[in-house]
């Protein structure tokens, strides 16, 4: 069952001015309940714009966004309620912290959404646990934390409202590889254990491969391919346009194929890639044993 | 959430028109002269001339007239308030009046003696309408002129022009370069701040902050989660900027040369000559019409 459905959505920034820029063009996309959908694409292709639509922060013109069966553009649909159900983590969310204490900041969302006092407390505790923040941190000032910790506090501030869909805009941008991986693991955990549907915008293909059930690839405001990672990365069309976007494992296989080796290119994870190369290599060895001076290929 | 971006006053629209190519110093001086001229005129009929001047100028700017007009939108409330207050509060011959228990009534008698001021009557006076009209015209012209200037002159050009004009005040100790640098930084920060503001407002809204709250106290509370991150950001950006400036050996204006030197051309001399004749004609006309 799809929890979010986007139909023919377009959006133009600063319409009818000399600065007009079309950020989405006829985007249609659906997000299934319980899945992890990754949105990828080059800088400025409209990912953040698309994500803002999911929270009713900008109005589609034209097009519809349907969340849980109700069209959010319609009058009478409570945007506040929508925002509780669909949690949105902005690009560089650490800039939104403002409270005196970490716990206070995380509690902002639940309080605004009308949780009772006890509920707020337990939501904060749970969110901090979820994001791997030590309980001793709750009384510290968010401005005294490191960038990575601030990021986790900000994300905790969103998941504390217990959204059923979590939308993250480049959550690991600018983090060191270890923190990035820990963050990815926390997001996977949320999805697997709590059943939270996740929409994640990312520039790291290796992260995407690890986390995503489905991928939507954007370019210049439209979605040019969507499907499982294997499908998306092996389609010809995507290839021509987005070469540099392939995960490393995929580009390795493609390069090998171009040199005439019979590898399959629709494998994305690194383990599968190693298997494939090993299999092909042993295949070539067998063939070369027949002819004496077999061509040596890298 | 792009309510902040609809403000066109103070914005620059790049282009290659007559106005864009003019020397910013000349543009600035012409702007000042024209504004002062508008304040010297005392009849709204005469104000039509400078108004037409700027309408023609906006055609020379190559920017669509609709776009320029949209920039005037935010000042419409001020103009309306100025108009209404002036027309109601200026003593004179009432033309449209309303005395509480009775209905509205009109009067076209504006030549007789001024009637006694009636404390219980709300009335628009002929003199008030005249003056209100005059004030509104003046406001419209000033705003139109200022936005034409900023639309066709980039912030860098504006500060260069100001710096070069302020240099006349250097002998009396006016820190021309410092003032210009401060202005250009302040101008440069406006878009950065609005961008931050917009992002923070969006982020807090998706965390449940309700900016459409009814009571004033609720509304004020909503500003805290916006203002604190905004200030934190602004200080950070300011610090980064000062470090970046120091790293590039910035040490004030002495001996500093410009990448793009301003140079006057035929456009500037032609427009200055035209403005001089235009103002002289207006003043003459005003003097002449007063004496008859
Ligand atoms: N507030 C705005 N006003 C005007 N134009 C905007 C605004 N925000 C984005 N744009 C334009 O819309 C387009 C899409 O921007 P968007 O932020 O959605 O890109 P993105 O895919 O998120 O890029 P990135 O990977 O760098 O975050 C860009 O061309 C950008 O210039
Ligand atoms: Mg983005």
Distance of alpha carbon B56 from alpha carbon B36, whole angstroms: 19
Q: Is the ipTM of this complex over 0.85?
A: no
Q: Does B161 touch chain A (CB under 8 A)?
A: no
What lies within 8 Å, CB to CB, of B2 at 6+ separation is A13, A14, A58, B198
What confidence score (pLDDT) does residue A293 get? Answer: 45
Could you tell me if B7 lies within 8 Å of chain A, comparing CB atoms? no
Distance to chain A for B18, nearest Cα, Å: 18
pLDDT at B6: 52
Cis previous bond, B7, omega within 30? no
Mean pLDDT of all residues in A81-87: 89
- The DSSP output letter for A6 is E
How would you class B287 by CB atoms within 10 Å of its CB: exposed for 0-12, middle for 13-18, buried for 19 or more? exposed
Whole-angstrom Cα distance, residue A294 to residue B35? 88
Quick one: which H or E segment has residue B105? strand B104-106
Interface mutation vs chain A, best among B4, B8, B198, B207, most A CBs within 10 Å: B207
pLDDT in tens, B81-94: 988 888 888 887 77
**Which pLDDT band, with edges at 50, 70 and 90, does A69 fall under?**
confident
Task: Give the mean model confidence (pLDDT) for residues A279-298.
Answer: 60
- The Å distance, Cα B75 to ligand 1 centre, comes to 30
Q: Which residue's CA lies nearest to atom 4 of ligand 1?
A: A13
- Nearest ligand, measured from the Cα of A17: 1
Q: Tell me: the pLDDT tens digits for B217-228? A: 877 777 888 999
The pLDDT confidence band at residue A155, using thresholds 50, 70 and 90, is very high
Please give the pLDDT value at position A73.
Answer: 79
Q: Are strands A197-201 and A165-169 parallel, antiparallel or unpaired?
A: parallel
- Closest by Cβ to B229, choosing from A58, A98, A109: A98
Residue A165: the pLDDT is 93
Q: Tell me the CA–centroid distance for residue A48 and ligand 2, in Å.
A: 4
Q: Give SS3 for B17.
A: coil
Average pLDDT score over chain B: 83
Cβ–Cβ contact A157 with B under 8 A: yes
Residues of B in contact with A58 (CB under 8 A): 1-2
Query: What is the position in ligand 1's atom list of the atom closest to the CA of A51?
Result: 18
pLDDT at position B3: 46
pLDDT of residue A236: 65
B275 contacts: CB under 8 Å, gap ≥ 6: B30, B33, B34
How many Cβ atoms are within 10 Å of B180's Cβ, its own excluded?
21
> B155-166 and B176-206 are packed helices; what angle lies between their axes, rounded to 10 degrees?
150
- Distance, in Å, from the CA atom of A28 to the CA atom of B46, rounded to the nearest integer, reads 58
C-alpha span between B145 and A151 (Å, rounded): 46
pTM of the model: 0.71
State pLDDT tens for residues B22-50: 999 999 999 999 999 998 888 878 889 99
What percent of chain A stands above pLDDT 90? 24
pLDDT (average), residues B167-184:
85
To test ligand 1's pocket by mutation, which of A11, A47, A223 has the most ligand atoms within 8 angstroms of CB?
A: A47
| Cα(A80)–Cα(B140) distance, integer angstroms | 40
> Using one digit for the tens of pLDDT, what is the confidence trace for A12-60?
887 777 677 888 888 899 999 989 999 988 888 889 999 999 888 888 8
Smallest CA–CA distance from B6 into chain A, residue: A14
Would the CB atoms of B206 and A98 count as touching at under 8 Å? Answer: no
CB contact residues (below 8 A), chain A span 109-138, against chain B: 109, 111-113
Q: Is the CB of residue A17 below 6 angstroms from any atom belonging to ligand 1?
A: no
pLDDT of residue A199: 94
In this predicted structure, the answer to whether residue A261 has a pLDDT above a threshold of 90 is: no
Tell me which of A84-93, A133-142, B39-48, B239-248 is least confident: B39-48
Q: Give yes or no for B224 touching A (CB within 8 A).
A: yes
Q: Judge whether residue A111 has pLDDT over 50.
A: yes
Residues in Cβ contact with B85 at an 8 Å cutoff, skipping those fewer than 6 apart: B132
Q: State pLDDT tens for residues A171-226.
A: 988 888 888 888 999 999 999 998 999 999 988 887 888 888 999 988 888 888 88
Q: Smallest Cβ distance to B200: which of A52, A95, A143?
A: A95
Running DSSP on this structure, what letter comes out for residue A245?
G
Q: Which phi and psi (to 5°) does residue A22 adopt?
A: -85, 115
Say whether pLDDT at A295 is over 70.
no
Residues 6+ apart with CB under 8 A from A165: A3, A4, A31, A54, A67, A85, A86, A87, A196, A197, A198, A199
User: What is the distance between the alpha carbons of residues A83 and A106, in angstroms, rounded to a whole number?
Assistant: 16
The token duo for B142 is 């000033």
Which two structure tokens, joined as six digits, stand for A274? Answer: 């190693």
In this structure, the residue with its CA closest to atom 14 of ligand 1 is A46
pLDDT of B9 over the 80 cut: no
Distance A23 CA to ligand 1 centre (A): 6
Highest mean pLDDT among B3-12, B89-98, B241-250: B241-250
Q: Compute the C-alpha angle A163/A168/A172, nearest 5°.
A: 135
Q: List the single residue in B5, B8, B233 with the smallest CB-CB distance to A95.
A: B233
- Residue A87 has what pLDDT? 92
**More confident of the two residues A271 and B117:** A271
**Which residue, among A96, A109, A171, would best test binding to B if mutated, counting the most B CBs under 10 Å from its CB?**
A96
Q: Confirm or reject: Cβ of A43 under 6 Å from ligand 1.
A: yes
Looking at residue A43, its pLDDT comes to 86
Tell me which chain B residues have a C-beta less than 8 angstroms from the C-beta of A55. 205-206
Q: Of A35-44, A249-258, B61-70, B267-276, which range is least confident?
A: A249-258
Question: What is the bridge-based pairing of β-strands A214-219 and A222-227?
Answer: antiparallel
Q: Tell whether omega for the bond before A62 is within 30 degrees of 0, i.e. cis.
A: yes
Question: How far away, in angstroms, is A13 Cα from ligand 1 center?
Answer: 9
Of B63, B196, B225, the CB nearest to A108: B225
Res. A166: pLDDT tops 90: yes
The residue assigned the tokens 């399959």 is A264
Strand, helix or coil at A165? strand
For residue B59, how far is the Cα from the chain centroid?
Answer: 19
Any CB–CB contact under 8 A between A55 and chain B?
yes
Helix pair A117-130, A147-159: axis angle to 10 deg:
140
pLDDT at B222: 79
Average pLDDT over residues B54-79: 86
């Amino acid at each position: 069952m799809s929890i979010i459905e986007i139909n023919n959505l377009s959006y133009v920034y600063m319409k009818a001015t000399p600065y007009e820029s079309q950020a989405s063009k006829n985007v249609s996309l659906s997000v299934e309940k319980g899945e992890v959908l990754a949105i990828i694409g080059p800088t400025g292709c409209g990912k953040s714009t698309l994500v803002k639509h999911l929270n009713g922060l900008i109005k589609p013109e034209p097009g519809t966004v349907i969340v849980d069966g109700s069209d959010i553009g319609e009058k009478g649909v409570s945007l506040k309620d929508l925002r509780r159900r669909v949690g949105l983590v902005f690009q560089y969310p650490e800039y939104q912290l403002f409270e005196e204490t970490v716990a206070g900041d995380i509690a902002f969302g639940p309080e605004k959404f009308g949780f009772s006092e006890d509920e707020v407390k337990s939501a904060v505790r749970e969110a901090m646990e979820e994001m791997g923040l030590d309980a001793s941190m709750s009384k510290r000032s968010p401005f005294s934390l490191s960038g990575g910790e601030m990021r986790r506090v900000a994300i905790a501030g969103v998941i504390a409202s217990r959204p059923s869909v979590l939308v993250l805009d480049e959550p690991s941008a600018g983090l060191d590889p270890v923190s990035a991986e820990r963050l990815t693991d926390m997001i996977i955990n949320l999805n697997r254990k709590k059943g939270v549907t996740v929409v994640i915008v990312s520039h790291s293909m290796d992260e995407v491969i690890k986390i995503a059930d489905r991928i939507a690839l954007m370019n210049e405001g439209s979605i040019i391919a969507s499907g499982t990672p294997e499908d998306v990365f092996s389609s010809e069309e995507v290839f021509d346009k987005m070469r540099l976007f392939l995960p490393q494992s995929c580009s390795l296989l493609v390069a090998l194929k171009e040199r005439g080796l019979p590898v399959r290119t629709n494998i994305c994870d690194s383990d599968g890639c190693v298997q494939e190369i090993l299999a092909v290599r042993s295949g070539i060895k067998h063939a070369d044993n027949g002819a004496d001076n077999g061509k040596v290929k890298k | 959430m792009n309510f902040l971006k609809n403000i066109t006053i103070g914005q620059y629209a790049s282009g290659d028109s007559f106005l864009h190519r003019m020397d910013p110093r000349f543009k600035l001086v012409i702007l000042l002269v024209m504004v002062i001229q508008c304040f010297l005129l005392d009849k709204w009929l005469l104000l039509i001339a400078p108004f037409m001047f700027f309408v023609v100028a906006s055609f020379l700017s190559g920017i669509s007239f609709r776009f320029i007009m949209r920039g005037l939108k935010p000042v419409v409330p001020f103009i309306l308030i100025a108009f209404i207050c002036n027309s109601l509060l200026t003593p004179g011959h009432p033309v449209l009046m309303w005395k509480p228990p009775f209905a509205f009534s009109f009067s076209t008698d504006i030549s007789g003696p001024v009637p006694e001021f009636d404390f219980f009557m709300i009335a628009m006076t002929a003199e008030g309408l005249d003056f209100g009209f005059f004030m509104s015209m003046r406001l419209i012209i000033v705003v139109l002129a200022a936005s034409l200037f900023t639309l066709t002159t980039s912030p860098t050009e504006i500060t260069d022009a100001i710096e070069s004009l302020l240099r006349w005040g250097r002998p009396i100790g006016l820190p021309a370069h410092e003032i210009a640098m401060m202005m250009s930084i302040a101008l440069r920060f406006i878009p950065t701040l609005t961008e931050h503001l917009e992002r923070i407002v969006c982020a807090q809204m998706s965390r449940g902050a309700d900016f459409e709250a009814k009571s004033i106290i609720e509304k004020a509370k909503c500003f805290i989660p916006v203002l604190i991150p905004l200030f934190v950001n602004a200080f950070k950006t300011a610090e980064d900027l000062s470090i970046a400036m120091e790293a590039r050996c910035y040490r004030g204006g002495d001996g500093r040369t410009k990448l793009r030197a301003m140079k006057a051309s035929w456009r500037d001399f032609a427009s200055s000559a035209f403005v001089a004749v235009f103002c002289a004609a207006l003043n003459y006309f005003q003097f002449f019409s007063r004496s008859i």
